[in-house]
């Protein structure tokens, strides 16, 4: 599953959502997570106060056949399950199934009713007709009604709800949302719509017969083996998957989707469906969104030397989805944020998420983590697949850049939520497993392991792990043993510190030369918090560049102590020394060396992160010829360095250093092929000493003509920074003919500088054109309105409760998520204003009263929530 990290992006970009999140951790005094930490009874024995074991297998599921139909108006599923199972080892005369909030009408076997107990609405306990041994299969039939909306549900930040089965707009009351049904199983929610052993270490083959009105399309796991018209305009689709998978991967979706067909040809020449299920209006965008999928299947199959194992690979986009995306076997669900037109796709695409879910079909679906504590066996690999795809498709720089974003995600998540072992046996809630450790950190750990073992051993190790454990559940030791098998090395040291330990490395280095100048001494200090984090064993490299040499000398070292010194012979003057030149360590590294060394590193390293750090450090340390350095960075082969160069030119006052610099900025602003770079140039361009008129003209041209939304929006805010009046005038002049995305930018401008008359624009956008705004766009419009309104005279705020009530009633799932934060933001802003008024003797009593009334009204909006 991929989380809706999108929200973080929105959060970051909406400055007005005053969030208390601090991103800098206290490096040397790191918080520890949760009370489950080991308690010592004596020095040698440690006992966990909490241990989340894998589910004990009393019964093995063998085959699950479901026949389902729907009562759309009540949001019920009417089901009949034919379940084949057997005792796992010990003979048994009963079976216990997870079944959440159902109405069970009958359980039978060979036509005879069985006795069952179902008093807690959670576990269905069935007494079989006799005792069975582990070599005897039995089949029972359960007739039931699933009522997902009548259960008390909960959720988490990662997966917003555990309802399992979702009826979206089932009565068609909302004309803007296509009625649909879909499911979300992970972690243990599929037992809301069929009785099963809802644990990741249980596996079963599957059949699903879905009866719906003929106008609907259905999707489930496996092959569609028949589709039969019934009486009364109904149709039954029969989906069948002959390979076993875990119950949380079962999936079903129903709606009037369009199917855009694609395919993948396996090595043996056979072909499988790779179809995209989208709402009809997105039919033409589907290939632009998902079109790389067949190439990804091919690449991952080759990399793992293991053919894609399942019958097909279909992807579907649903409304009001509760997470980012989910790797249901062969039938992956995405939230509707992936709907993007060609202009949006210029700025960003969802290939990382597509790769992530696809890679799960080996790591997660084929071999499944045996318990949620072992979730990194699913998620770290899916996370790392994003790196693998970027590396293959876009090159190492892009992959390394995205890896930096991921590692930052881990640092932030850990600083915020605390540190824990990657394989986290003592979590408090299984949903907590879906965090920056299991995903981001795990991905970086796999990258380190790959660097340590080498590509051949690493990928062969993955193949060994997958082939040895296919169609079963695994724990972290299976992974270790696969790598040990292949490499011949005992890898407990690596797994202990990275998979079974917590934290990350913080390294400080400095260097000195001996008196004769022919030996360089490198001092290395591990400065992570030693109370909670281990002293790591770190095999790595040191690169030493000497004058005149075209390549660095590479020295292999292993750091094992808190403080260590390594010395190396050098025959020429050294011009740079760098630890971890391949940039693979999960580490914050602080190298104490001269600016000239960093300058040299920028020009001579071939790794993105080395070069980025070198550029920043060289400039901050006032290296020689900073102008040339920035000019070269503006012309770098990798877009992110070019974009950073613009920001650095601005930060170090180099924008007008010479005509060359100015020309380079203008050239990149107009002609760079990456929208991120053109976008980054906007602010630097406004700082040039060209005439105000010229700058306003050029920015206006960009606002009207650049194909990228990001550039248009950034050009607009740069223009407003230059001249608020001009920005407002342009916004007003283009408002009437502006396309939808430009309207959002105009709203952003008005939120910052709009005057009283702009109220009509906002009211039109919100009340009359609300169907234009969905997801992030809808949240943005709401917050732009709020910011705008809070800037106006007190009298103009009266519309605020009406607008908020409108969003409360009509807002989509994104608004729901941000709504109370929005109201809270209004309340705290108004309270602040009120206390200022109260402390001001000259203030108008009428204003005080207006604010007090408004606060009361806003308070009642949240109360009724
Ligand atoms: Zn995932």
Picking from 278-287, 296-305, 336-345, 693-702, which range would have the lowest pLDDT averaged per residue?
336-345
DSSP, res 532: T
CA distance linking residue 552 with residue 418, whole number of Å? 39
Using the mean position of ligand 1's atoms as its centre, give its distance from the Cα of residue 357 in Å: 6
Is the pLDDT assigned to residue 235 strictly greater than 90? yes
Bridge partner residues of 513 (DSSP): 520
Using the mean position of ligand 1's atoms as its centre, give its distance from the Cα of residue 363 in Å: 9
Average pLDDT over all residues of the chain: 92
What mean pLDDT do residues 696-724 have? 93
Residue 47 banded pLDDT, cuts 50, 70, 90: low
Using the mean position of ligand 1's atoms as its centre, give its distance from the Cα of residue 441 in Å: 13
Using the mean position of ligand 1's atoms as its centre, give its distance from the Cα of residue 493 in Å: 27
Instruction: Decide if 423 contacts 36 (C-beta within 8 A).
Output: no
Instruction: Decide if 602 contacts 641 (C-beta within 8 A).
Output: no
Using the mean position of ligand 1's atoms as its centre, give its distance from the Cα of residue 297 in Å: 16
For residue 160, what pLDDT is reported? 65
For residue 333, what pLDDT is reported? 98
User: HSE-up of 367 (CA within 13 Å, CB side)?
Assistant: 25
Pairing relationship of beta strands 331-335 and 314-318 according to DSSP bridges: parallel
Is the pLDDT assigned to residue 572 strictly greater than 50? yes
Q: 3-state secondary structure string, 685-717?
A: HHCCCCCHHHHHHHHHHHHHHCCCHHHHHHHHH
Using the mean position of ligand 1's atoms as its centre, give its distance from the Cα of residue 339 in Å: 20
Using the mean position of ligand 1's atoms as its centre, give its distance from the Cα of residue 503 in Å: 22
Picking from 360-369, 543-552, 678-687, 844-853, which range would have the lowest pLDDT averaged per residue?
844-853
Using the mean position of ligand 1's atoms as its centre, give its distance from the Cα of residue 326 in Å: 7
Using the mean position of ligand 1's atoms as its centre, give its distance from the Cα of residue 439 in Å: 8
What mean pLDDT do residues 615-627 have? 97
Using the mean position of ligand 1's atoms as its centre, give its distance from the Cα of residue 201 in Å: 17
Using the mean position of ligand 1's atoms as its centre, give its distance from the Cα of residue 324 in Å: 9
Using the mean position of ligand 1's atoms as its centre, give its distance from the Cα of residue 296 in Å: 16
Using the mean position of ligand 1's atoms as its centre, give its distance from the Cα of residue 12 in Å: 23
Using the mean position of ligand 1's atoms as its centre, give its distance from the Cα of residue 190 in Å: 17
Higher pLDDT, 496 or 23: 496
Q: What is the DSSP string of 607-668?
A: -HHHHHHHHHHHHHTT-S-HHHHHHHHHT-SSHHHHHHHHHHHHHTT-TTS-HHHHHHHHHH
Using the mean position of ligand 1's atoms as its centre, give its distance from the Cα of residue 359 in Å: 9
Is the pLDDT assigned to residue 632 strictly greater than 60? yes
Is the pLDDT assigned to residue 34 strictly greater than 60? no
Using the mean position of ligand 1's atoms as its centre, give its distance from the Cα of residue 192 in Å: 21
The closest alpha carbon to 183, from 203, 162, 195, 165, belongs to 165
What is the H or E stretch that residue 576 is in? strand 574-579
CA distance linking residue 141 with residue 413, whole number of Å? 46
Using the mean position of ligand 1's atoms as its centre, give its distance from the Cα of residue 355 in Å: 10
Percent of the chain scoring above 90 in pLDDT: 83
For residue 38, what pLDDT is reported? 39
The closest alpha carbon to 83, from 147, 143, 154, 159, belongs to 143
Picking from 107-121, 148-162, 423-437, 475-489, which range would have the lowest pLDDT averaged per residue?
148-162
Residue 46 banded pLDDT, cuts 50, 70, 90: low
Backbone CA torsion sign across 11, 13, 19, 23: positive
Using the mean position of ligand 1's atoms as its centre, give its distance from the Cα of residue 325 in Å: 8
Using the mean position of ligand 1's atoms as its centre, give its distance from the Cα of residue 215 in Å: 32
Pairing relationship of beta strands 217-220 and 367-369 according to DSSP bridges: unpaired
For residue 52, what pLDDT is reported? 97
The closest alpha carbon to 261, from 252, 251, 271, belongs to 271
Using the mean position of ligand 1's atoms as its centre, give its distance from the Cα of residue 353 in Å: 8
Picking from 308-312, 661-665, 706-710, which range would have the lowest pLDDT averaged per residue?
706-710
What mean pLDDT do residues 593-605 have? 98
Residue 26 banded pLDDT, cuts 50, 70, 90: very low
Using the mean position of ligand 1's atoms as its centre, give its distance from the Cα of residue 698 in Å: 44
What mean pLDDT do residues 253-272 have? 97
Using the mean position of ligand 1's atoms as its centre, give its distance from the Cα of residue 374 in Å: 13
Is the pLDDT assigned to residue 355 strictly greater than 50? yes
Is the pLDDT assigned to residue 585 strictly greater than 80? yes
What mean pLDDT do residues 352-379 have? 98
Using the mean position of ligand 1's atoms as its centre, give its distance from the Cα of residue 185 in Å: 13
Q: How far is CA 769 from the centre of its chain?
A: 30
Using the mean position of ligand 1's atoms as its centre, give its distance from the Cα of residue 262 in Å: 23
Burial class, 642, CB count within 10 angstroms (exposed 0-12 / middle 13-18 / buried 19+)? buried
Residue 341 banded pLDDT, cuts 50, 70, 90: confident
For residue 157, what pLDDT is reported? 63
List CB contacts of 119: < 8 A, sequence separation 6 or more: none
Using the mean position of ligand 1's atoms as its centre, give its distance from the Cα of residue 380 in Å: 8
Using the mean position of ligand 1's atoms as its centre, give its distance from the Cα of residue 71 in Å: 32
For residue 156, what pLDDT is reported? 67
Using the mean position of ligand 1's atoms as its centre, give its distance from the Cα of residue 116 in Å: 36
Using the mean position of ligand 1's atoms as its centre, give its distance from the Cα of residue 98 in Å: 24
Q: Give the number of other Cβ atoms within 10 Å of residue 547's Cβ.
A: 10
Using the mean position of ligand 1's atoms as its centre, give its distance from the Cα of residue 375 in Å: 9
CA distance linking residue 207 with residue 202, whole number of Å? 16
How would you classify residue 548: left for phi > 0, otherwise alpha for psi between -120 and 50, otherwise beta?
left
Residue 864 banded pLDDT, cuts 50, 70, 90: low
Is the pLDDT assigned to residue 427 strictly greater than 80? yes
List CB contacts of 554: < 8 A, sequence separation 6 or more: 541, 542, 543, 581
Is the pLDDT assigned to residue 707 strictly greater than 70? yes
**Helix locations, 672-799, DSSP H:** 675-686, 692-705, 709-722, 724-734, 740-753, 758-763, 775-791
Q: How far is CA 624 from the centre of its chain?
A: 41
**Is the bond preceding 187 in cis, omega lying within 30 degrees of 0?**
yes
3-state secondary structure of 195: coil
Using the mean position of ligand 1's atoms as its centre, give its distance from the Cα of residue 200 in Å: 14
Using the mean position of ligand 1's atoms as its centre, give its distance from the Cα of residue 383 in Å: 7
Picking from 526-540, 679-693, 729-743, which range would have the lowest pLDDT averaged per residue?
729-743
Q: Is the pTM of this model over 0.75?
A: yes
Q: How far is CA 629 from the centre of its chain?
A: 35
Using the mean position of ligand 1's atoms as its centre, give its distance from the Cα of residue 360 in Å: 7
Is the pLDDT assigned to residue 471 strictly greater than 50? yes
Using the mean position of ligand 1's atoms as its centre, give its distance from the Cα of residue 41 in Å: 38
Using the mean position of ligand 1's atoms as its centre, give its distance from the Cα of residue 749 in Å: 37
Using the mean position of ligand 1's atoms as its centre, give its distance from the Cα of residue 243 in Å: 21
For residue 382, what pLDDT is reported? 98
Is the pLDDT assigned to residue 37 strictly greater than 50? no
Is the pLDDT assigned to residue 741 strictly greater than 90? no
The closest alpha carbon to 183, from 254, 276, 103, 242, belongs to 254
The closest alpha carbon to 426, from 373, 504, 503, belongs to 373
Using the mean position of ligand 1's atoms as its centre, give its distance from the Cα of residue 265 in Å: 25
What mean pLDDT do residues 858-863 have? 84
Instruction: Decide if 33 contacts 416 (C-beta within 8 A).
Output: no
The closest alpha carbon to 630, from 670, 667, 602, 669, belongs to 602
| Gap between the terminal Cα atoms of the chain | 29
Is the pLDDT assigned to residue 207 strictly greater than 50? yes
Using the mean position of ligand 1's atoms as its centre, give its distance from the Cα of residue 609 in Å: 26
Using the mean position of ligand 1's atoms as its centre, give its distance from the Cα of residue 171 in Å: 32
CA distance linking residue 315 with residue 330, whole number of Å? 8
The closest alpha carbon to 418, from 441, 389, 400, belongs to 441
What is the H or E stretch that residue 260 is in? strand 258-260
Using the mean position of ligand 1's atoms as its centre, give its distance from the Cα of residue 379 in Å: 5
Using the mean position of ligand 1's atoms as its centre, give its distance from the Cα of residue 409 in Å: 15
Picking from 177-181, 338-342, 488-492, 794-798, which range would have the lowest pLDDT averaged per residue?
794-798
CA distance linking residue 629 with residue 410, whole number of Å? 31
Using the mean position of ligand 1's atoms as its centre, give its distance from the Cα of residue 11 in Å: 22
Using the mean position of ligand 1's atoms as its centre, give its distance from the Cα of residue 1 in Å: 3
For residue 344, what pLDDT is reported? 86
Q: What is the DSSP string of 363-428?
A: BTTTEEESSGGGTHHHHHHHHHHHHHHHHHHH-HHHHHHHHHHHHHHHHHHHHHH-B--SS-TT-S
Using the mean position of ligand 1's atoms as its centre, give its distance from the Cα of residue 467 in Å: 21
Using the mean position of ligand 1's atoms as its centre, give its distance from the Cα of residue 218 in Å: 24
DSSP, res 441: I
């Amino acid at each position: 599953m991929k989380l809706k990290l999108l929200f973080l992006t929105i959060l970051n970009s909406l400055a007005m959502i005053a969030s208390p999140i601090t991103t800098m951790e206290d490096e040397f005094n790191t918080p520890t997570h949760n009370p489950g930490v080991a308690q010592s009874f004596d020095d040698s024995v440690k006992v966990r106060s909490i241990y989340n074991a894998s589910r004990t297998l009393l019964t093995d599921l063998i085959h699950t056949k479901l026949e389902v139909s729907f009562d759309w108006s009540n949001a019920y599923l009417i089901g009949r399950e034919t379940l084949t199972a057997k005792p796992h080892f010990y003979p048994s005369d009963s079976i216990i199934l997870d079944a959440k909030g159902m109405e069970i009408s009958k359980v039978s076997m060979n036509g005879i009713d069985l006795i069952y107990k179902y008093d807690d609405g959670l576990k269905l306990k069935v007494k079989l007709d006799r005792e069975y041994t582990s070599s005897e299969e039995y089949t029972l039939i359960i007739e039931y009604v699933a009522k997902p909306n009548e259960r008390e549900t909960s959720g988490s930040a990662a997966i917003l709800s555990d309802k399992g089965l979702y009826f979206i707009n089932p009565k068609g009351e909302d004309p803007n949302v296509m009625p649909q049904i879909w499911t979300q199983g992970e972690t243990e929610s599929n037992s809301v719509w069929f009785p099963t052993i809802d644990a990741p270490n249980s596996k079963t083959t599957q059949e699903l017969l879905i009866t719906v009105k003929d106008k609907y399309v259905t999707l489930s796991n496996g092959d569609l083996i028949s589709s039969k018209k019934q009486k009364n305009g109904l149709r039954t689709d029969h989906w069948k998957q002959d390979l076993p998978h875990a119950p949380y991967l079962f999936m079903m979706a129903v709606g009037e989707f369009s199917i855009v067909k694609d395919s993948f040809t396996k090595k043996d020449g056979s072909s499988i469906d790779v179809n995209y299920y989208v709402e009809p209006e997105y039919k033409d965008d589907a290939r632009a969104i998902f079109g790389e999928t067949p190439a990804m299947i091919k690449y991952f199959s080759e990399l793992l030397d293991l053919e894609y194992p399942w019958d097909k690979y279909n992807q579907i986009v649903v409304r009001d989805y509760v997470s980012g995306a989910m790797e249901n076997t062969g039938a992956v669900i995405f939230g509707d944020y992936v709907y993007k037109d060609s202009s949006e796709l210029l700025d960003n695409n969802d290939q990382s998420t597509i790769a992530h879910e696809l890679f799960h079909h080996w790591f997660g679906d084929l071999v499944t983590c045996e318990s949620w504590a072992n979730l990194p066996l699913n998620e770290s690999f899916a996370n790392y697949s994003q790196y693998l795809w970027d590396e293959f498709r876009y090159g190492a720089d892009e992959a390394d850049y995205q890896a930096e974003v991921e590692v930052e995600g881990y640092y932030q998540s850990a600083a915020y939520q605390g540190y824990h072992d990657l394989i986290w046996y003592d979590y408090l809630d299984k949903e907590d497993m879906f965090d920056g450790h299991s995903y981001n950190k795990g991905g970086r750990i796999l990258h380190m392991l790959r660097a340590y073992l080498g590509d051949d051993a690493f990928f062969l190790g993955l193949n060994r792990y997958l082939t040895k454990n296919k169609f079963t559940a695994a724990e972290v030791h299976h992974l270790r043993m696969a790598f040990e098998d292949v490499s011949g090395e005992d890898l407990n040291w690596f797994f202990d510190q990275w998979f079974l330990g917590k934290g990350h490395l913080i390294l400080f280095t400095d260097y000195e030369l001996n008196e004769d100048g022919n030996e360089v001494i490198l001092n290395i200090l591990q400065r992570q918090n030693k109370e909670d984090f281990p002293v790591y064993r770190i095999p790595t490299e040191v690169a030493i560049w000497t004058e005149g040499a075209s390549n660095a000398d590479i020295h292999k070292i292993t750091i094992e102590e808190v403080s260590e010194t390594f010395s190396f012979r050098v025959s020429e003057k050294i011009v740079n020394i760098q630890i971890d030149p391949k940039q693979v360590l999960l580490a914050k590294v602080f190298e104490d060396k001269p600016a000239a060394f960093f300058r040299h590193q920028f020009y001579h390293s071939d790794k993105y992160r080395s070069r980025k750090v070198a550029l920043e450090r060289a400039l901050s340390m006032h290296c020689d010829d900073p102008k040339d350095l920035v000019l070269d960075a503006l012309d770098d082969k990798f877009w992110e360095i070019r974009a950073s160069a613009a920001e650095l030119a601005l930060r170090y006052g180099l924008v007008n250093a010479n005509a060359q610099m100015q020309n380079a900025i203008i050239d990149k602003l107009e002609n760079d092929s990456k929208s991120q770079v053109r976008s980054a140039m906007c602010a630097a361009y406004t700082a040039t000493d060209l005439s105000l008129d010229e700058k306003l003209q050029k920015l206006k041209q960009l606002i009207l003509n650049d194909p990228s939304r990001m550039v248009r929006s950034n050009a607009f805010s740069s223009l407003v920074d230059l001249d608020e009046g001009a920005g407002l005038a342009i916004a007003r002049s283009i408002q009437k003919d502006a396309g939808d995305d430009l309207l959002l930018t105009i709203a952003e401008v008005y939120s910052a500088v709009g005057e009283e008359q702009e109220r009509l624009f906002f009211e039109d956008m919100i009340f009359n054109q609300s169907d234009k705004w969905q997801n992030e766009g809808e949240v943005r419009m709401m917050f732009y309105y709020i910011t705008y309104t809070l800037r106006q005279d007190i009298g103009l705020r009266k519309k605020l409760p009406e607008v908020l009530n409108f969003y409360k009633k009509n807002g989509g799932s994104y608004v729901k998520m941000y709504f109370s934060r929005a109201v809270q933001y209004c309340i705290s802003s108004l309270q602040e204003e009120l206390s200022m008024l109260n402390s001001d003797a000259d203030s108008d009593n009428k204003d005080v009263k207006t604010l007090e009334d408004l606060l009361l009204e806003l308070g009642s909006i949240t109360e009724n929530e």
